[in-house]
Structure 1
């Protein structure tokens, strides 16, 4: 089984190589890149391409590694014991399977997405080292050892919000998704907006990359944001002439789809004001 671009996802050659290498090596694929570059969607497309089910574990700042294995609901067991419920005699009734357990127990090989691992505490990745290495873990409450029936394809995403431990990095195959160049972006747009007029696309993408290249920008617009912007341009039935600006420093049409904070909007407003004063 080999991963490649799908009808709804454009994968560059280096990304395709990285995914297939990780699958062959049976190592987790650690994917980093700017927010909005398709890291989470990659896991879904890998599952679709390889004909596998996907199990998604979205990490939050409060997520603990143990939750990925299982959780023991002692409170419910105490309540049931007070009510005289017969279920209390079997502790397994109070064990809730986590995402890793679900992936390990799946009858067929699955894709396991561990999304935005850098959101959790710094110890979170280290706490999963043994389980991801050995593909097994021990349930202390029942005394059983859970082993993976099939080694899942593990894809881990990170937005680079914090450094990950070296011991964790050593066990992963790493890939950084570079921001798409103009030609790749055209292919991505064609997937989402087939048949878009060439002149409109060229004008819009030229403005988009000018905005991304503006010095001092706090948050550069991403792939998902340019797709939203183009959707609005098409909905408004705008022509290339409608996108005309007074200069590269002025705000584009419908800029709220591209610029997501007031500092960046004010930056372009100041630049446009200074450009007018210099005339």
Structure 2
């Protein structure tokens, strides 16, 4: 089945290797497994693929308690029992109590949708293996209704992982893999300009210099991500919150912590580390 190639969008800065990975996965008709630091745009990628290709987006967010079966369907036996006790006629038909999961929704779509299985590494280690046949064969069996469900058309499947746990080899063999590297300075500038086209160039340049310096701090527990950079810039651009002509000047000299550092550093260890390093810079002068 032919698909239009993904070439990025006005809302999302996609590197050449990322576009190539998306199109390779579509051509091979394999799930695209995307890894990368939290906040590098993995989830947004699915939204932009759907937007660019004119497809419906179906999102299956994974939690630690999520089971693979929930993506196929669930049988609501409790509701059926309650209805039977109340003498409801509908209780005679088991199909009324079958709740379709996200995978079934994707299989049922008239046009191949984009299915996002988001943060698969949050689930139990057996979760990916429990989906092998369904992702391979694009079908599954509903035991309660004795129904074989087959995909009308193979969906475009994007699976994200934050590397919280290793995924099984059998699952990895069935995926096309891409790691989203953290953007370089030029790509970060493009991302900022997409989100904040009216931001002053001087502010962007100074903010990127401070942001990249903070990311390079030795011993940092959690490096700030692209999404945190965008939040931080939004605060810096708000004159009510950041008065003065040069809010980053002292930070660039290493004389003080950047304003609104809580948007960048999300735990006390990293904030104390930054304060100690600034103190060392001051003492050397």
Fold equivalence (TM over 0.5): yes
Residue 52 of structure 2 corresponds to residue 71 of structure 1? no
Instruction: State the Cα RMSD in Å.
Output: 1.3
Residue 15 of structure 2 corresponds to residue 12 of structure 1? yes
1:264 equivalent among 250, 270, 273: 270
| Stretch of structure 1 that moved more, 126-135 or 198-207 | 198-207
Partners in 2 of 1:187 and 1:22 — Cα distance? Answer: 26
Partners in 2 of 1:225 and 1:5 — Cα distance? Answer: 22
Map 1:50-61; keep pairs closer than 5 Å.
50-61=53-64
Q: Secondary structure at the match of 2:247?
A: helix
TM-score with structure 2 length normalisation?
Answer: 0.95
Map 1:230-241; keep pairs closer than 5 Å.
230-236=233-239, 241=246
TM-score with structure 1 length normalisation?
Answer: 0.97
Partners in 1 of 2:17 and 2:132 — Cα distance? Answer: 26
1:156 equivalent among 147, 155, 159: 159
Q: Is the 8 A contact 1:112 1:155 kept in 2?
A: yes
1:253 alignment counterpart: 259
Q: Secondary structure at the match of 1:189?
A: helix
| Stretch of structure 1 that moved more, 189-198 or 153-162 | 189-198
Change (3 A) 1:3 1:252: same
Cα displacement (A) at 1:166: 0.4
Q: Is the 8 A contact 1:207 1:248 kept in 2?
A: no
What are the ranges of 5 or more consecutive residues in structure 1 without an aligned counterpart? none
1:185 alignment counterpart: 188
Cα displacement (A) at 1:4: 1.3
1:87 alignment counterpart: 90
Cα displacement (A) at 1:195: 2.9
Residue 258 of structure 2 corresponds to residue 244 of structure 1? no
Residue 232 of structure 2 corresponds to residue 229 of structure 1? yes
Runs ≥4 residues deviating over 3 A:
237-240, 246-250
How many residues are matched? 279
